[in-house]
């Protein structure tokens, strides 16, 4: 018996459970794409599947809606795969083990994948039904959203006739998203030269910082471990001699690093550690209100010969870390509280031949994003450091006149007796990709209440899913 068979709306949760039984981590899209194709064939619906495994399913408008403008319903097929240490699921071939806990659906030992599986389930339920009034539907299921919106960027938009879209990749009930940031990756490859030196290896490990998502938490004034590492090294350098062996912090460009490890070669370990502790305490006192758990650990080994950075390399990396912009660059003048432009040094890695600095750039304005790229290029150009920019995805800029937004707000008000919150976000959504390719594009992003997405604590509200599904049905009825 299904674990979700008694939940309402039944077919939404039926399809969510079916989807959850199919391995669909980012990069492993063929099985879930084939499931969508099989659904289309079973229900005699036209479909397109492209080389990126995106699937578009078409359904004609119901009686009275045959000649209405199409509506695009969109979600992504992939999920972020995380599991607890004691979970033996193989994400490449195993499905998820779902269970109900009060008002929540959870997955045992793993991420739930409701981001964005619940969107796919809701759309399949609508496509299957013969009792819902709606205009022609173009159901777009994209792939590999979580690793750079790869599917959406590969989709041939000419297969779509619709110019209005409901994206279902939001995670908060009662909020309609109307704008999102675009972004790009900026990487500098600082050439690494080393020489041999004798001294005591000391590991300086910066720990305890909050970290967070570089889109959602970038305005929370959280300290970037890579930046604070450069500051500590600069402060110590004025009082005691050392050389850098390696410096590494962060492993995801879009996550604010909460730790950084710097391996050093020092002449006098006791003097170095005493000096370092003094400066660390000064910084700890300075940032305690926003980073109360910040701490740094010093560990010394026995003296030996070490491969250390040449002085020119050491100077370039510390200067780059100190001078490179990081964090919030600009707030929106038109939308209160919205970060318009930011960047995050998410990865700092000492490789065999270079020191890699990987920044995630974001802006809700395309022109601001390009200017930020130019600033970084200018800085690293002065340092004679090669750079590259890739992974660009366009912003979804706010539209003053949005009939679809007006319909949503009216239906929400009539249904729940209160106003929906209208929101612009600094994170990225696939809406920006569609907006850049479709003329006169009108879009909203909505979703049910999801918590702790991308973690093993991820959970989906059952009642919120029911509320959202009924809301979508009422919106479709209004789209003549």
Q: In whole numbers, what is the pLDDT of the chain averaged over residues?
A: 96
Please list the active-site residues.
78, 145
pTM for this entry: 0.81
Cis peptide before 219 (omega within 30 of 0): no
Does position 1 have pLDDT exceeding 60, yes or no? Answer: no
Does position 431 have pLDDT exceeding 50, yes or no? Answer: yes
- C-beta contacts of 233-240 below 8 A and 24+ residues apart: 233/262, 233/318, 234/318, 234/322, 235/279, 235/282, 236/272, 236/275, 236/276, 236/279, 237/318, 239/275, 240/266, 240/268, 240/271, 240/272, 240/275
HSE-CB for 251 with a 13 A CA cutoff: 1
Span 393-414, average pLDDT: 95
How far apart CA 106 and CA 96 sit, in angstroms, is: 10
Q: Which domains does the chain have, with CATH numbers?
A: 10-180+396-478 (3.40.630.10), 184-393 (3.30.70.360)
Does position 169 have pLDDT exceeding 50, yes or no? Answer: yes
pLDDT for 222 equals 95
pLDDT of 225-268, one tens digit each? 999 999 999 999 988 999 999 999 998 898 999 999 999 999 99
pLDDT of 31-47, one tens digit each? 999 999 999 999 999 99
Q: Is 30 helix (H, G, I), strand (E, B) or coil?
A: helix
How far, in Å, are 14, 17, 430 from residue 1 at the CA level?
A: 11, 12, 36
Find, among 217, 206, 231, 202, the residue nearest to 306 by Cα: 202
pLDDT for 336 equals 86
Residue 454 region by backbone torsions, left for phi larger than 0, else alpha for psi between -120 and 50, else beta: left
Higher pLDDT, 52 or 334: 52
4 falls in which pLDDT band (50, 70, 90)? Answer: confident
């Amino acid at each position: 018996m299904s674990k979700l068979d008694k939940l309402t709306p039944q077919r939404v949760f039926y399809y969510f459970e079916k989807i959850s039984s199919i391995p669909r981590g980012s990069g492993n899209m063929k099985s879930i794409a084939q499931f969508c194709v099989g659904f289309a064939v079973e229900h005699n619906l036209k479909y397109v599947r492209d080389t990126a495994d995106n699937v578009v399913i078409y359904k004609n408008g119901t009686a009275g809606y045959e000649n209405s403008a199409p509506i695009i319903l969109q979600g992504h097929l992939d999920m972020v795969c995380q599991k607890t240490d004691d979970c033996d699921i193989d994400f490449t071939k195993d499905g998820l083990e779902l269970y109900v806990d009060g008002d929540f659906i959870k997955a045992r030992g793993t991420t739930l994948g409701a981001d964005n599986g619940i969107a796919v389930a809701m759309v399949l339920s609508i496509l299957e039904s013969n009792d819902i009034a709606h205009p022609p539907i173009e159901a777009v299921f994209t792939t590999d959203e979580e690793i750079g919106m790869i599917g959406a960027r590969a989709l041939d938009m000419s297969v779509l006739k619709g110019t209005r879209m409901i994206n279902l990749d939001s995670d908060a009930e009662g909020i309609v998203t109307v704008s999102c940031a675009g972004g790009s990756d900026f990487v500098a490859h600082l050439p690494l030269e080393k020489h041999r030196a004798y001294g005591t290896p000391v590991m300086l490990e910066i720990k305890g910082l909050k970290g967070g998502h570089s889109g959602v938490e970038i305005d929370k004034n959280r300290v970037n471990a890579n930046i604070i590492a450069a500051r500590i090294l600069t402060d110590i350098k004025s009082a005691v001699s050392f050389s850098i062996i390696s410096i590494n912090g962060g492993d995801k460009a879009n996550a604010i690093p909460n730790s950084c490890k710097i391996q050093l070669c020092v002449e006098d370990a006791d003097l170095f550690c005493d000096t370092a502790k003094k400066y660390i305490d000064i910084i700890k006192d300075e940032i305690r209100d926003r980073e109360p758990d910040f701490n740094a650990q010093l560990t010394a080994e026995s003296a030996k010969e070490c491969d250390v950075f040449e002085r020119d390399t050491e100077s370039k990396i510390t200067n780059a870390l100190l001078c490179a912009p990081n964090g919030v660059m600009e707030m929106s003048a038109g939308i209160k509280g919205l970060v318009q432009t930011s960047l995050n040094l998410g990865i700092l890695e000492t490789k065999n031949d270079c020191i890699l600095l990987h920044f995630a750039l974001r802006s809700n304005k395309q022109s601001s994003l390009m200017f930020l790229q130019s600033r970084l290029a200018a800085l690293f150009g002065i340092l004679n450091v090669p750079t590259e920019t890739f992974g660009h995805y366009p912003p979804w800029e706010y539209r003053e006149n949005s009939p679809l937004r007006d319909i949503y707000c009216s239906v929400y008000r009539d249904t729940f007796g209160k106003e929906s919150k209208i929101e612009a976000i600094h994170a990225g959504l696939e809406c920006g990709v569609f907006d850049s390719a479709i003329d006169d594009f009108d879009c909203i992003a909505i979703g049910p209440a999801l918590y702790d997405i991308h973690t093993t604590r991820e959970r989906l509200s059952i009642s919120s899913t029911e509320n959202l599904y009924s809301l979508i049905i009422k919106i479709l009825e209004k789209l003549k």
